Amino acid sequence: MKALILNNKVVDVVNTKFEVAPTMTWMDCTSECKNGWTVVDGVLTAPVEIVLTYDKKRKQEYPSIADQLDDIYHNGIDAWKATIKKTKDKYPKP
């Protein structure tokens, strides 16, 4: 397998090399190599998987503060609590 490298990042993985722009290079790679891997000190490296904690997952899923206030204004505090509870239940504290 061959990895096509641009700016130290794998942009394609193929079986056969083909002619590319001078800014790109080829590297031998294993079948595990995927687009998005990087070249670190001449070695193809998989991206580090970031594991989000429950609180960061909640923050990503909560509506914006403006939308929450709008929900309270139009639908009342109980409707807002129900909306927020769905996210809290989905990502409970450990």
Q: What value does the mean pLDDT of the chain take?
A: 95
Q: What is the pLDDT of residues 25-49, one digit of tens each?
A: 999 999 999 999 999 999 999 998 8
* 36 and 66 housed in the same domain: no
CB-based contacts of 71: which residues, under 8 Å, 6+ apart? 63, 79, 80, 83
* 73 and 41 housed in the same domain: no
pLDDT value at residue 49: 87
Q: Decide: residue 18, CB within 10 A, 0-12 exposed, 13-18 middle, 19+ buried.
A: exposed
* Domain tally, the chain: 2
pLDDT value at residue 91: 96
Residues spanned by the domain of 71: 54-90
Question: Hey, what are 38's tokens?
Answer: 């990087």
Q: Global pTM?
A: 0.54
* 40 and 70 housed in the same domain: no
**Residue pair 2/17 in contact by the 8 Å Cβ criterion:** yes
pLDDT band at residue 74, thresholds of 50, 70 and 90?
very high
* 40 and 73 housed in the same domain: no
pLDDT value at residue 12: 96
